[in-house]
Structure 1
Amino acid sequence: MTTYFSEAASVETVNARMSDTTDPRLAEVMSSLVRHLHAFVKDVTLTEAEWETAIAFLTRTGQMCSDTRQEFILLSDVLGVSMLVDAVNNRKPSGSTPSTVFGPFHVDGVPERRMGDTISLDGVGEPCLFVGRVVDLDGRPIGDALVDVWSDNADGFYDVQQPDLQPQHNNRGVFRTGPDGRYWFTGIKPVSYPIPDDGPVGEMLGHLGRHPYRPAHMHFLVTAPGHERLITHTFVSGDGYLDSDAVFGVKAPLIVEFEERPADSDGPKWRAAYDFVLPPKA
């Protein structure tokens, strides 16, 4: 029997149109999406004007996307969806280093550097020594682990945002641990910066009374044979945006004390120590 659309039976009517041959996972996802979308519309009694505003917002969001900017991911980030997807897909054993959002500024193909090298190619910013180990859940060192790192410059921009101003691969590097699992390299103390806010997502944040800033952080992608991949940041303790990160990426265990070294000491002005704990692959 044909079921015609009505407010009361909207979900059942739409979901009934799916074919029995639909991929089971697609059917599960789409039927749930329809159920939640219809519940939202009914919950807030969405007006036609509001619906038109939402369509215009999504249209502008798509038009803002390019090869170097993904406004929809930015939207996902500021709504906490990116962090939620990360959380449900990275349920780790107790003691593992927490993951956080990947971010849009990772670059593949960065050359592997010698342990101890500097990644600050322009020499701008406050030098910082990053040190630590990559270990397993029992504290045993993991050798042959790749530690891929990247950060913004002293002005809060990544090299890919300023290809005409910064050297290629500025503040980026890949390091391979030895048998002792240790890593060390020199970068700069990261600074807080705003996410791109000149588009519809930034406009939305303004209407919500929210700022666009991320607290200062260093990105890490750590991989090792036989262990789960780790995507995470280390955050600068004391940063003013730790409690209000625009993309909700901060987790307490990732906040690191950046130790200021004595003025008369040799080497970088700052030191940040952090050990990464990787669980075995399932």
Structure 2
Amino acid sequence: MRNVTPENISEVFAGYFGKDTDPRFREVMTAFARHLHAFVREVELTHDEWRAGLEALEWAGRITTPERNEFVLLSDVLGLSSLVDMINSHPGATSSSVLGPFHVSNPPPIAIGADLKGDFEGEVLLVQGQVRDLDGKPVPGATLDIWQTAPNGLYSSQDPDQDIMSFHGLMTADESGRYAFTTVRPVSYTVPTDGPVGQILNAAGRHPWRPSHLHFIIKAEGFRPLVTEVFPDDDPYLDEDTVFGVREDLVMHYESRPAGTFPDGFVLSGKVEGPWSKVDFDFTLVGA
């Protein structure tokens, strides 16, 4: 078309789709282009700014690996990941929250009562709870893919000194939907700032900190998978998470317990000599 203009380019773009195009693909792509075109008109984007944006995407592609996904991180810090999570969360079910760029696939299976802390220093944290449906009934056999950072604030895929499966495990809930494990208390940490995402944060005057948290992917037959993370109520970054992942129902409480009170039924039973903390957190799944 030779008479395309800034005002009609979105309409022209929509007219280029073939008649057999998948309707949902057409809907998403025409809306995407329409909002991009509106953005360019609103800010009167310059050629230099357009090129800078393309170069940032090229840079993100160069540094993305199976262990680090800069595009996921970009989606996170722009709030896109959390917005998708929120509009796809079901009322009454546990909220979704960001997957993050450091999930490791195929974690080793671990039993109920297993320990993720290993030889790492730090306060022992006992985490337990139940997986239930919207009616409050237990979901037996649900699988929980669990992961977190080490005490140095790094995920295993970021840290050459950690085994790649450090602080990762796949647990199967029992007949009552119960899960339980021990680990070291997670710490607040910064997202990577040595790529284009870091430049965006610096230019915006934003800090790169995330509140400490535990990650979960929970699956069960007949239910929608849940990707989420849970946060302690005393973390200083709870209300300023740089990737907008905190939800009210994902805040948990660490209960401090004195030495000599650690319960039986855990790998660390009889081995915890000092004070430790306990958290009880239940998950609610929605049917598929």
TM value normalised by structure 1: 0.91
Quick check: 1:122–1:167 contact (8 Å CA) kept in 2? no
- Are 1:242 and 2:215 matched, yes or no? no
Find the counterpart in structure 2 of residue 96 from structure 1: 93
Find the counterpart in structure 2 of residue 258 from structure 1: 254
Change (3 A) 1:65 1:177: closer
Q: Which moved more, 1:16-25 or 1:206-215?
A: 16-25
- Alpha-carbon offset, residue 28 of structure 1: 2.0
Change (3 A) 1:181 1:30: closer
Quick check: 2:256–2:277 contact (8 Å CA) kept in 1? yes
Letter in 2 for 1:142: V
Letter in 1 for 2:76: D
Number of equivalent positions: 277
Change (3 A) 1:7 1:230: closer
Q: State how far apart, in whole Å, the 2-side matches of 1:208 and 1:27 are.
A: 34
Structure 2 residue ranges without an equivalent (≥5): 263-271
Q: State how far apart, in whole Å, the 1-side matches of 2:116 and 2:211 are.
A: 20
Alignment of 1:1-282 (within 5 A): 2-88=1-87, 90-92=88-90, 94-162=91-159, 164-266=160-262, 267=272, 269-281=276-288
Quick check: 2:112–2:171 contact (8 Å CA) kept in 1? yes
Quick check: 2:129–2:180 contact (8 Å CA) kept in 1? yes
Find the counterpart in structure 1 of residue 267 from structure 2: none
Letter in 2 for 1:183: Y
Change (3 A) 1:61 1:148: closer
Letter in 2 for 1:119: L
Pairwise CA RMSD? 1.8
TM value normalised by structure 2: 0.89
- Alpha-carbon offset, residue 236 of structure 1: 1.3
Letter in 1 for 2:281: Y
Letter in 2 for 1:258: Y
Structure 1 residue ranges without an equivalent (≥5): none
- Alpha-carbon offset, residue 63 of structure 1: 2.2
Quick check: 2:68–2:102 contact (8 Å CA) kept in 1? no
Quick check: 1:124–1:153 contact (8 Å CA) kept in 2? no
Quick check: 2:189–2:210 contact (8 Å CA) kept in 1? yes
Letter in 1 for 2:37: H
SS at match of 1:161: coil
Quick check: 1:122–1:170 contact (8 Å CA) kept in 2? no
- Alpha-carbon offset, residue 243 of structure 1: 0.9
- Alpha-carbon offset, residue 274 of structure 1: 0.5
Quick check: 2:120–2:151 contact (8 Å CA) kept in 1? no
Identity among equivalent positions (%) equals 42
Quick check: 2:133–2:285 contact (8 Å CA) kept in 1? yes
Q: State how far apart, in whole Å, the 1-side matches of 2:287 and 2:131 are.
A: 13
Q: State how far apart, in whole Å, the 2-side matches of 1:256 and 1:22 are.
A: 46
Q: State how far apart, in whole Å, the 2-side matches of 1:226 and 1:7 are.
A: 48
Q: State how far apart, in whole Å, the 2-side matches of 1:257 and 1:110 are.
A: 26
Q: State how far apart, in whole Å, the 2-side matches of 1:276 and 1:137 are.
A: 10
